Amino acid sequence: MKKLSFLLVLILGLGLVLAACGGDNDNSSDNSNNSNNESNGDTDSKEGTENAGDFKVGMVTDLGGVDDKSFNQSAWEGLVSFGEQNGLTEGEGYSYEQSNAKEDYVPNLTRLIRNHYDLIYGIGFELKEDLTTIAEQNKDVHFGMVDEVVDLPNVASITFKEHQGSFLVGVAAALKTKTNKLGFVGGLDSPLINKFEAGFVAGAKSVNPDIEVEVQYAESFGDPAKGKLIAANMYDNDVDVIYHASGGTGNGVFNQAKDIKQNDPDREIWVIGVDRDQHEEGQVGDQNVTLTSMIKRVDVAVESVSTMSLNGEFPGGEQLEFGIEEDGIGFATTNSDAMTEDIINTVNEWKDKILNGEVTVPATRDELKAFEESL
């Protein structure tokens, strides 16, 4: 399966920005206008025939929900941007289906198909199995699989080099800590989230090989209470910087840090956000506990692939991988009080080392072990 660079995606994605017919602002795809054109042909026959007026794109969230302030929300922001740029109406031209349990994936995907959506995204690796089954049964519909690879001609697979961005925020954490104890809170213990863990630990230990990193998984992307409990235990154990890669569960990490900060304004504790800039989640009065965030441009990826599909250039059967080099991965500098110029400059020095091949960031625990042995 070929890999397309982010630059190529953007080049291909530039094109028609067409006006669309309006509709009422209903957020439920069940109420979509069924008078839109229904395609019964194969994938090739529909390419180039759509215009913004009858093109429909939707997404199915994972369990974190569309307002998880992280991964799903970033994807939805990309879809909203695409819809607004092309004059589409929310609930008609673009929409989402919320998943509250894994059993919701199939009915949510099916609902969008029944309402004649041309492009449907599965947001998160947990949807892979169900999306694969649905895509095999609906070969005339385009699908976008985010964070996993599905080898089908009507599916575009969108992946990221999360370990690279996690390495950078690991460097920032190591430069900021006063206790030399860091924490990592993951959602599901899975190959994807292990990439965040491996990169973060590698970045921190590149600065200080003796630094301690406590790792815990909540086994959920939608359990803020569990995230808060894990964070409380870590902060009680002298951890002063926690990086979360846990979707909505991470909201609990922020809540715990803010509670501590509110009760003890002089205590220096930090949270590192994920997927989007989570600076606003860390606000406590006139202080902010968000050190930085590992930014994963799911919004840009979703918007780009949607534009390609609209223009008849859907990258079916391709794997599009977004990393630092493609500007699909980065880190936030919004909290200028915490992310000082010295920290930012040092993080950028390590970023350059990754780009020039001087540092190869580990993406698995086995690779991390070898990386640590080389330090």
| pLDDT tens profile 338-369 | 999 999 999 999 999 999 999 999 999 999 99
What is the C-alpha to C-alpha distance for residues 141 and 57, in angstroms, rounded to an integer?
11
Task: Report percent pLDDT > 70 for the chain.
Answer: 86
Number of alpha carbons in the 13 Å side-chain half-sphere of residue 282: 26
How high is the pLDDT of residue 69? 83
Please, what's the b/e burial string for 218-240 (b: 16 or more CB within 10 A of its CB; e: otherwise)? bebbbbbebbbbbbbebbeeebb
Locate 35 and state its tokens: 């008078």
Per residue in 127-138, pLDDT tens? 999 999 999 999
Asked if pLDDT for residue 236 goes beyond 90, the answer is yes
Per residue in 23-69, pLDDT tens? 333 333 343 333 333 333 343 434 433 456 789 999 999 988 898 88
Locate 357 and state its tokens: 């091949």
Under the banding of pLDDT at 50, 70 and 90, the label for residue 14 is: very low
**Rounded average pLDDT over 143-167:** 98
What is the C-alpha to C-alpha distance for residues 83 and 199, in angstroms, rounded to an integer?
34
Comma-separated ranges of CATH 3.40.50.2300 domains in the chain: 3-160+298-322, 162-296+329-374
What is the C-alpha to C-alpha distance for residues 242 and 282, in angstroms, rounded to an integer?
12
Whole-model pTM: value is 0.82
Select 162-296+329-374's CATH number: 3.40.50.2300, 3.40.50.620, 3.40.1160.10, 3.40.50.720: 3.40.50.2300
How high is the pLDDT of residue 18? 35
Residue 21, SS3 per DSSP: coil
CATH architecture label of 3-160+298-322: 3-Layer(aba) Sandwich (3.40)
50 against 245, higher pLDDT: 245
